[in-house]
Each structure stands twice: as C-alpha cells, then as structure tokens.
Amino acid sequence: MSRWKSTSNSPASPDRMTSPAETPARYHRAAIALHWLIALALVLQLALGFRLESIPRGTLQFDAFQWHKTLGISILLLSLARLALRFALPRPAEVGSGLSLLAARATHALFYVVMIGAPLSGWALVSTARIKLPTMLFGVAPWPHLPLGPGAHEPAEVAHAVLGWLLPALIALHVGAALWHHLQKDEVLARMMPAGRNLNAALGIAGVLLAGAAWLGFAGPVPNLWRSAASTEPVEEPSQAASEDAIAATESAAAEPSAAASDSADAKAALSPDWAVQGGKLGWSTNWSGSAIQGSFKRWTAQIRFDPENLADARIAVDVDLASSSSGDSSRDESIQGAQFFNTAAHPRAKFVSSKVSKAGAGYTADGTLALNGVSRPARLRFTVKIDGDRAVASGNASLSRLAFNVGTDEWQATDQIPDAVGVNFSVQAKRKAE
C-alpha cells in the first residue's frame, strides 16, 4: 500500500509538478495490478528464502533454488515495470508532512532498492559461483549469467544478505502503516484496491492471498509441484553384485586399453550385426544427497551379433548421443551436459564396443571398452536374452565409476553428494536379420 491520500479534500503537495486538476484520486489499474503481484511474489520469496538452507540437500533443494531464482528475476522485471509507471503516470497526492512524509518516502525508496537490488545481487551470485548451474525461469526459459569476474562474488553475497534481511523490516513497516490508515478510516488504502470493491472485503481477500503465498513458501508445495510437473520413467537399479564387479573391473584395468585390444574392437565393429534393433531404452541412475536421480538417453544406436551357441563371435556395439540425456529437469540436464560432467561440447558421444561375451549363470557378461568424455576404460555389461524365433528381448545393467571418466570435476569430485558408482540400465527389442 502507498501512503497517499485522495485530493478531494486536500490539495496536492507543493513539491509535485502535477496540478490539482491532474492529480488522480486513485492509482492507475496497471499500477494496482503490479503492486499486488509484486506483494505476493515478495511474500512467497521471503518465506522460501528463510527455509532454503533447511531443505535437505537433494532434488527438492535444487528445485527450491530454481524457484528462488525464478521468483527473483520475476520480481526484478515487475519492479522495473512498476518504477516506469511511477514516473510515467500521475499519482495521488502524498499524505502527511514533516517526518511522517519523509519516512513514507524513505520506505518506498528502500522498497525499490530491495526489489531491484536483491534480485540483481542474487543474479551476480549465481553468475560468479564456482559451479555455474543454469537458471531456467519456471523450468522452461533459460536466463543468462552476468559477465562478471569472481571478484564480484563476495560483494554480491554481502549485498544479497543485507537486502534479504531488510525486506522483512520494510514489510513490517508497510503493514503497520496500512493498519494505521485503516484505523484512521481515511482514503489511502482504497486507492490501491480494485475499483468498485468493498474495502473490508478487498483487504480480507488480500490477506488470504498473502497468507497463502507465505504458506506456499514455508510449507514447500512450490518445489514439490515443480518436481511433480516433470515425471521420469523409472529405471532399474543395478544389483549390488553387478556394481561391485563392474567397478572392480574398471579399477583393476590399465589406464588405457592396449593397441591390440583397440584393433580387435575396431575389427569386430566392422562386422554386420545379426540383429536389427526395433526399440528399447537406455537409462541411468544415481543419487544426490540420498535422493534418487533417474534419467534416460533419447538417442542411441546398437549393433548386435549374438548366438548363444557361438559366443566367440558375439559382439555388441553401442553409440550414445550424450546431449539426449533427460532426467525430467531441464536445469539439471543442462548442467549434466556441461564441462563439469559429460562435457558434450568437446565429447558429444559415448561408445561401447565389446571384446568378449561370456556365459554367466542364467545370463551373460559383455566385457569391452567404453569411450566417454575423452577417456577409454574397460567396462562390463551383465544381461539376459530371451530368443523366440526371429525375435529377441534383452535387458541388463552395468555400474560405472564416473570419476574414472572425469564425470564430475571440481567440487563434484567428492562422493558425499553424488556417489562414484553410476548405474546403467537397458532393454532392447530386436529382430533377426534375414540371411
């Protein structure tokens, strides 16, 4: 609410350039709409900001920070529009004199400092962070980073904290002044309400909306709704035994495969496959601070030569477009493709070529070489196959050491948030090629 008063009974303040005839009794409807939109966003942002650090680390906290950034940029844009209208449109006359008028002006000025300065300092914080997570407004629209150096990070952090604590003080002053005007039964509050509305009813609706915004921020439905808006098909976790076998195979192998092994793999890759892939799924799974993260690759191809009676001639070759990885969260997916993880700009594809397929219990293992992120390492797949005439269905899993492939650098090298072992899960439907 602004501390303004109708000019029906009192003249305009002498420091205004607008003549009494031009001084409106109410704010423009656009200014009223922006006022309440910003008020709702500020209350929601304040409530969410107070609980950000208390949210358990994981996908929910990640989503909460994305909402925090989305609300901040929204408040910034709305506040700039509101400031433009403040100068472009005539306003009701100011109320009071002396210290009361000076306090009203100072409070309004500080509100604009917070509404514009807090989002800008937060934007600078994100732009200068060591780990540059992208900002996706409402999970859809990408928002760029500011071209700032690392030296701006600490000042931005201090400014953001100070402005963040100034906001609740200003809200308390603003609400207190509004209540005082309400008790005085003057015209001030009515000028910021929609035209033709009963003042008490309008104030009641406003109170309910603001309380609802505070509840959304404190209780957490906003990030939860964000999470539920993007569903991910579940992928099966690899067994513990499979994980241990694959990690052991990776860690015990030499840093790079021998030239003879590479030549053998290339020679096998040149063979025509026996089976034409008709469909399937290639997924991955990991954890972030105890929360399960699952995703899949939308674009991949496979060549398969397999005869359970002639495993010596079996071959599996898989080519994966890493940029097609999807986990149901566009911000996280963009981060995964960045230089600290898949680094798809430099290494857009991952390739696995088997060198040996062996019988293992009721299923099989395929040992070979995986090339990922510019690194080649031995890898092992465990799978089962069901062949029915000229149709076959295969499914299996693997566990890879992400650190062995430099996936997760800098602060992400620690395994307290993301474990070293990453699960891979696949299923394939294939048709035997005609001879």
**Residues of the chain predicted below pLDDT 50:** 1-21, 227-272
For the chain, the residue count is 435
Tens-place pLDDT, residues 194-224: 765 666 666 667 677 777 777 776 666 555 5
State the Cα–Cα distance between residues 124 and 128, nearest whole angstrom. 6
Q: Is the dihedral of CA 295, 298, 301, 302 positive or negative?
A: positive
The pLDDT score that the predictor gives to residue 46 is 83
**Domain segments of the chain: what residues?**
4-229, 240-432
Mention the CATH class of domain 240-432.
Answer: mainly beta
Q: Cβ contacts of residue 128 below 8 Å, gap of 6+? A: 146, 148, 149, 150, 152, 153, 156
Give the fold, CATH level 3, of 4-229.
Answer: Fumarate Reductase Cytochrome B subunit (1.20.950)
Contact 279, 429 (CB under 8 A): yes
Cα dihedral across residues 153, 157, 160, 162: positive or negative: negative
Strand, helix or coil for residue 234 = coil
Please tell me if the domain spanning 4-229 has the same topology as the one spanning 240-432.
Answer: no
Q: What is the structure's pLDDT at 354?
A: 93
pLDDT score of 243: 38
Residue 60 CA from chain centroid, whole number: 10
Q: What's the pLDDT score for residue 266?
A: 44
Measured on CA atoms in the order 374, 379, 384, 389, is the torsion positive or negative? positive
Distance CA 198, CA 233 (A): 50
Beta bridge partners of 296: 283, 326
State pLDDT tens for residues 266-319: 444 444 458 999 999 999 999 877 778 889 999 999 999 999 888 988 999 999
Please tell me whether the overall predicted TM-score, pTM, comes out greater than 0.85 for this model: no
